Amino acid sequence: MAVVKARSSDIDLLARLLRAEAEGEGTQGMLMVGNVGVNRIRANCSDFVGIRTIPHMVYQPHAFEAVTHGYFYQRARESERRLARRSVKGERLWPAKYSLWYFRPPGDCPATWYDQPFVGRYKLHCFYEPTGEECENVYKTF
């Protein structure tokens, strides 16, 4: 059962995002990008109030480097579609399990990003999750 609504076109869109944002991070890295995206849809807090669909999440202004800088042109492949479906069904991996932010710094991960604490690194990406009750929806189980 899906934790966010997703049509076939939404799965393709999410798959393109996974590939564009984290293809070099492998299967786990791409799945973690999907985790953050799904978390943003479910959160309804912070910068993500009112984000209710995969297209809203993907095309939110300034949300993803790949979309902003034009790396988002590749078609979805079946391997990324499978990862997108896993994300939509609620499969989550640490450190992205509850994260709303990630980025790839040129060096070490900063202790905070958008005022949220660093929770872990996977390969080149640093992950940050919200604290307190402001974003409690992120921590709800499916």
With bands split at pLDDT 50, 70 and 90, how would you rate the model's confidence at 132? confident
Say how far apart CA 60 and CA 74 lie, in whole Å: 19
The average confidence (pLDDT) of the chain is 93
Q: Which two tokens stand for residue 91?
A: 């499969």
With bands split at pLDDT 50, 70 and 90, how would you rate the model's confidence at 123? very high
Q: Is residue 100 part of a domain?
A: yes
The pLDDT of residue 54 is above 80: yes
Domain count, the chain: 1
- Give the domain extent around 33: 8-139
Looking at residue 41, which CATH number applies to its domain? 1.10.10.2520
Say how far apart CA 75 and CA 27 lie, in whole Å: 17
Q: Buried (b) or exposed (e) across 13-41, using 16+ Cβ within 10 A?
A: bbbbbbbbbbbebeeebbbbbbbbbbbbb
**pLDDT tens digits for range 66-92:** 888 777 788 889 999 999 999 999 999
Q: Which two tokens stand for residue 100?
A: 């709303």
> For position 98, what pLDDT does the model report?
96
In percent, how much of the chain has pLDDT > 70? Answer: 100
Q: Is residue 1 part of a domain?
A: no
Say how far apart CA 114 and CA 45 lie, in whole Å: 13
